[in-house]
Amino acid sequence: MADDLQLAFTDAIQRTGHDLASMSGVDLQSAGPAAVRAWEARGLALHHLAAGDMAEARKVMEAARPAGRRSPTPATSQPRTAAKETR
């Protein structure tokens, strides 16, 4: 039973990643393994966001970034007081 649930969840994440890629005009059938993993990570992050877990979604996306693109302080974690003035 637990294995069936895990397979269903994994399948849902993969479908979400493929759907997101498709909406963005990316054909994962002809993409390389790294691109497929990146889109599936986006699918997993979206599931975490839907569950209300922003911290876990950030972890997933940070882990999915290429090594050269990691940032210790992503722009999404900057304080809100850094907003531009409108005057």
pTM: 0.66
Could you state, in order of their start, the residue ranges of all structural domains in the chain?
2-66
The one-letter code for the residue type at 42 is R
Per-residue pLDDT of the chain (87 residues; tens, 9 = 90+): 677 777 787 888 889 998 999 999 999 889 999 899 999 999 999 999 999 999 999 999 998 887 665 555 555 555 555 555 555
pLDDT of residue 83: 55
pLDDT of residue 44: 92
53 burial type by CB count under 10 A (0-12 exposed, 13-18 middle, 19+ buried): middle
20 burial type by CB count under 10 A (0-12 exposed, 13-18 middle, 19+ buried): middle
Phi first, then psi, for residue 29 (nearest 5°) are: -65, -30
Looking only at Cα atoms, what is the longest distance across the chain?
60
Query: What is the torsional sign of CA 62, 67, 71, 76?
Result: negative
Rg of the chain over CA atoms, in angstroms? 16
